[in-house]
Structure 1
Amino acid sequence: MKLGIVSLIVSLVALGVIVWHWLWPQTSGDVYFVRMPIIMEKYQGAIDASVQLRRRQESVQSNIDSIISSIGASGQDVNAPNQRAQIENYIRAIEKRDEEERATLSKQLISHVRTAVESISDGKNVGIVLAVTDENMLLYNGVATDITEDVLRELKKNYRNEMRR
């Protein structure tokens, strides 16, 4: 009996909340989205960061190849346990530093995108801005507005200003 009363009270409260939201809908702003693959493809700052990372990876691979060659040229066995351990430790250290650098560049890019979004959303009724990384994740686009090109223009403008400094 006591459980039935509790269930009835919970049901009435839930019904009241539903009716409240139906009669007085909450407007929290418009929904916008930014297509991040387009930003990564067209924003010079992202392109430059990608080139920088690729050059660094090529340099690291060259260093690893050089170390292996010098060990082999000195007559030492590259597959000897101590040589292999040194090479693996070097590779792990480089990979860790590379991962940290990627994280830093990613944070910087997101910060730049966030700043651009804040700049273009000034004066608009923005409720939420989504960063879409996969087109398949955008299931329905009935009320959302694509602001990718606006963000890209703002990023390009800011990037040119940064380069002038």
Structure 2
Amino acid sequence: MINADTPSNLMPHPPPADVDRHTETTIHQLLTAHGLLLNRARRDVLHVLLLARHPLDVDGALAAARMNGSHVSRAAVSRFLNLLNRLGVAEVAARRDARRFFRLRRKTQTISLSCVQQNRIIEVQDDAVADAVQRLLHGMGYRLAEGIHFRIEPLSAAAASALGDDA
């Protein structure tokens, strides 16, 4: 029984119905294997990542967790995202200045296109392009560490119409 003066971060909070239970269980087992707990704050951030349609930075994950009623701190979000990254569960999908945008690792490599002018991240899943980048890196003695990220900008109207004329 929970009394009224129980801190809200200890109160039972049902996870969103759309959360991928298999991934959540796998991450929970991985944390346990490393001697870490999936406490309330971490669970709230994990649910945000599981439901996210786009990569999130610390502030985006914090805002989403708080919209779901969490009282997690910014520092806890940052530490957990970095932990998931170190454990290989999450990756840095994009960077904008000093901000890093995280997402859970996927089986299919995703290409992130970051447009600063439009303040958006576009994600493309194209196995042929991802494989070409992997082959290029392997040929040079490297492997992909954080995903494929391109910084892009919109074409001018003149450049876009010139491309259309060539097609």
Q: Under TM normalisation by the shorter chain, which class is it? A: under 0.3
More helix as a share of residues? 1
- Relative contact order higher in (CA < 8 Å, ≥ 6 apart): 1
Larger CA Rg, structure 1 vs 2: 1
TM superposition score normalised by structure 1? 0.23
What TM-score does the superposition give when structure 2 sets the normalisation length? 0.22
